[in-house]
Amino acid sequence: MVDWQPTSRFCFLCGRENPVGLRVHWENDREAGEIRGRVNVPEHFNGYPGVVHGGIVAALLDETAGRTVLMDGAFDDLMVTLKLEVAYRQPTPTGTELTVVGRLLRRASSRAEAESELRLPDGSVAARGKVILARPPAAVSSRWEPERAFWKVEQG
């Protein structure tokens, strides 16, 4: 049985109603301690013809690492990124089925550290990310409340 993670309405990466979003769906692999998502980045998000823009790669790594805290959690477990380090290993092609994988490395009540990878169809790593996450201040998280009702699982 696949254990899908919830998505929002308008997030650029997972938003179900974002007309220009990537609509990634992440699943939990509890046995491996990982989350995984699949994405096919269209050509209009290129940096060079046929190559995904580095900012899009970074966004995929950031979101995937950030979602690792949701494997056993919910809306109230959302954190924000304090630091993102990206290592670009090889060009990431547009128009290709890619896999993003995330693992939670450490977690405390207010902070977490996670890593993520963007993999090509042959399993090789196109890019790696390392992320430090933190519980957001109430002034930030309170603005998320209207979205709570729409934060749900929609199968990919």
Task: Say how many C-beta atoms besides its own lie within 10 A of residue 137's C-beta.
Answer: 9
Per run of 10 residues, the mean pLDDT along the chain (length 156 residues) is 85 94 95 96 98 98 96 86 98 98 96 98 98 96 90 75
pLDDT at 82: 98
- CB count in 10 Å sphere of residue 62: 20
| CA–CA distance, 39 with 24 (Å, rounded to integer) | 6
The position carrying tokens 């013809």 is 49
**Which CATH architecture group holds 3-143?**
Roll (3.10)
What pTM, to 2 d.p., does this model score? 0.94
